[in-house]
Amino acid sequence: MVQGNESFEIYLKDDSQNPTFSFKDRASALVSAWAMENGISTLIAASTGNAGSSLAGICAAQHQKSIILIPAKAPLAKLTQIMMYGANIIPVNGTYDDAFDLSVEASRLFGFYNRNTAYNPLTIEGKKIVSFEIYNQLEFQVPDRVFVPTGDGVILSGVYKGFEEMLLLGITDRIPVIVAVQAAGSPNLVNNIDHQNFSITKSATIADSISVDVPKNFFMSAGFMKKYKGESVTVTDEEILQASVQLSGSAGIFAEPAAAAAFAGLLNFTRSDRIPHGSKNVVLLTGNGLKDLASVQSQIHLPAPVDPDILSLGQLIRTILSKNP
Ligand SMILES: *Cc1c(COP(=O)(O)O)cnc(C)c1O
């Protein structure tokens, strides 16, 4: 991308093509394999949508049972995925945070294996692999910045853990600057990093996958951010929608709002001149846009249908060409 006289590189890491179309498969695959190895047949998870649809899909493939607790208001596509994969879906009359607490109690009561993000340590082990892949795909170079869409902070910590392990093993010699991108309507991780007293605001954002009242992996994320001088930014829903349109139209990647938020974070940094000339910047695109069509309705306009004759079509095409030569 070129900005004034400055130019820098952007790499889009597209996790929307994973088996259930989100980054969460990296964690679910490992959790499911561990359960299989240990003879556990029923897994449970609370989810804003993607962790649940991911666990449901991977358990279906592995012939395991899954129970998914999810806010009743989650996007329809994510609810649909969970049901199509044949999981036991339990919509909860409450927030993701309520579903989380309930699922932990249910695991204690019934002995199910719990996949919850920030609760099951294997989720981070699965997610850290993305850093190995980034290093590998950049032909064994560490990028300068990685923009990570952040809710609970497990992806963020996973990215750090992957780069930290490569550093400790002497494979690499530095850690990239990780930029935690949160929705302005759900800024509870980045807003509390430097504070003694927590202040939690009630979440309200279109980016449902990063809409979290109490970040479940706060301490680990904050620890990594302080140790390695991480940066952060919050982006408004309007910025997320615009970034989503720009990303789709310029790169052919239709990302769900939480993932587009990471790109919005990069655009925000670009506008405030925070991306150095010549730097390599990675954006994690963590989920597929088809998972949440309702959020982008305001950005699109389906034209009136044309009559099926060449005269009408010709007229229409000439109008389009005159507007858009
Ligand atoms: C879960 C998720 C995130 C955020 O991950 P956390 O570990 O909760 O910070 C971001 N984007 C998408 C699409 C997700 O599903």
The fold of 25-120 is: Rossmann fold (3.40.50)
Angle CA 215–217–222, to nearest 5: 95
Distance of CA 149 from the midpoint of ligand 1 (Å) = 6
Taking only the tens of pLDDT, the chain with its 325 residues reads 655 556 999 999 999 999 999 999 999 999 999 999 999 999 999 998 999 999 999 999 999 999 999 998 888 999 999 999 999 999 999 888 899 999 999 999 999 999 998 899 999 999 999 999 999 999 999 999 999 999 999 999 999 999 999 999 999 999 999 999 999 999 999 999 987 788 999 999 999 999 999 999 999 999 999 999 999 999 999 999 999 999 999 999 999 999 999 999 999 999 999 999 999 999 999 999 999 999 999 999 999 999 999 999 999 999 999 987 7
Instruction: Quote the pLDDT of residue 2.
Output: 56
For the Cβ of 292 lying below 6 angstroms from any atom of ligand 1, the answer is: no
Q: Work out the end-to-end distance of the chain between its first and last CA atoms, rounded to an integer number of angstroms.
A: 24
Instruction: Quote the pLDDT of residue 198.
Output: 86
Instruction: Quote the pLDDT of residue 5.
Output: 57
Instruction: Quote the pLDDT of residue 200.
Output: 92
- Residue range 2-18+124-299 in CATH 3.40.50.1100: yes
The phi and psi torsions of 67 (rounded to 5 degrees) equal -125, 125
Every domain of the chain with CATH number 3.40.50.1100 lies at 2-18+124-299, 25-120
Instruction: Quote the pLDDT of residue 185.
Output: 97
For the Cβ of 287 lying below 6 angstroms from any atom of ligand 1, the answer is: yes
For the Cβ of 158 lying below 6 angstroms from any atom of ligand 1, the answer is: no
